[in-house]
Amino acid sequence: MDRLKSLKVFIAVAEAESFAAGARAVGVSAPSATRAVGALEAALGTRLFTRTTRRVRLTDAGRAYLQDVREVLAHLQAADEAAVGTAQTPVGQLRITCPQEFGRIYVAPLLAEFLDRYPGVSADVLMVDRVVNIVEEGFDVALRIGPLPSSGLAAVRVGQVRRVVCGAPRYFAERGCPREPPELTAHRVVSVASLNAGGLWRFGPGGELTVKVEPQLGVSSVAAAIEIARRGWGLCQALSYQIGSDLEAGTLRTVLEEWEPEPLPIHLVHTEGRRATPKVRAFIDFAAERLRGTAVLGWKS
């Protein structure tokens, strides 16, 4: 097996954590995949995987090699596309990750429109409320909410969101409206595990003011907390984009606006910088335009 094919086999095995599954992904037999990886390890003089009877895992050297190999193959693909005159044509599979609710509300609809525009592109979207390592897990683009740590990734800012306290008009009519954060202790609240760790609600520019609430109800889903607030049962914290349609319809309204923390930035993040493939460049440009045009995301040019 030639070196290029062996590298593709190596990536497939690493992603599947299985020689059999990786072999199927690239259309070779499991023994051929085993031999290809073995030849790579012999040539490099180091083990790329640790093997058990159930699965294979990358070694530290294997993880570093995987990142480098992905970059090499991406550059090779870009060179091939340029050589055959398709460097400006978006084609291939686009792998995207984003927060679950943001993906449902914004990414899925704009992505459907994007794929209609570029029929040569297919997409796979992981909607999950954790920070995905897009290099190690093989994603092209990530949508991130919040400050970005230092990294070698390219980022395009597309908006911002606020952390808000909201409730239904019926609730405020029956129980009154808190004017300062400490007054929340006298209100019925719904706590969301991902936002309200330890029962602490944070306020002020840097989140330095904390209020310890005693929720009668705690849930793990922001969508569930918003639905409960929408029904007039209590107050909850949410990100402003999550209740945009409710604010427009008047089914929810926010309170304590002057006590809100600083808005959280929204970025589209990718690994390739100026060397981004046509599919990535096209999606970044398309998504940035659509998201910046969404009023609730508070884009400021």
Give the model confidence (pLDDT) of 22-37 as tens digits.
Answer: 888 888 898 999 999 9
Confidence (pLDDT) at 82: 61
Say which amino acid occupies 39. Answer: A
Q: Which residue, 53, 83, 113, sits at the end of a domain?
A: 83
Q: Which residue, 56, 83, 110, sits at the end of a domain?
A: 83
Q: Are residues 205 and 253 in the same domain?
A: yes
Q: Are residues 107 and 70 in the same domain?
A: no
Residue 31 counted as domain residue: yes
- Look up the domain containing 79 and give its range: 3-83
Residue 243 counted as domain residue: yes
Exposed / middle / buried, residue 112 (Cβ in 10 Å: 0-12, 13-18, 19+): exposed
Half-sphere exposure of 187 (CA within 13 A, CB side): 30
Domain count, the chain: 3
Rounded Cα distance between 95 and 143, Å, is 12
pTM of the entire predicted model: 0.70
Element (H, E) at 71: helix 60-83
In the chain, the percentage of residues whose pLDDT exceeds 90 is: 54
Grouping H, G, I as helix, E, B as strand and the rest as coil, residue 41 is: helix
Answer yes or no: is pLDDT of 301 > 60: no
In the chain, the percentage of residues whose pLDDT exceeds 70 is: 94
Q: Are residues 139 and 278 in the same domain?
A: yes
Q: Are residues 12 and 147 in the same domain?
A: no
Q: Are residues 217 and 179 in the same domain?
A: yes
Q: Which residue, 33, 60, 83, sits at the end of a domain?
A: 83
CATH for 189: 3.40.190.10
Q: Are residues 145 and 190 in the same domain?
A: no
Closest Cα to residue 13, out of 53, 49, 67? Answer: 49
Q: Are residues 239 and 281 in the same domain?
A: no
Rounded Cα distance between 289 and 281, Å, is 12
Q: Are residues 255 and 185 in the same domain?
A: yes
Mean pLDDT of all residues in 139-153: 87
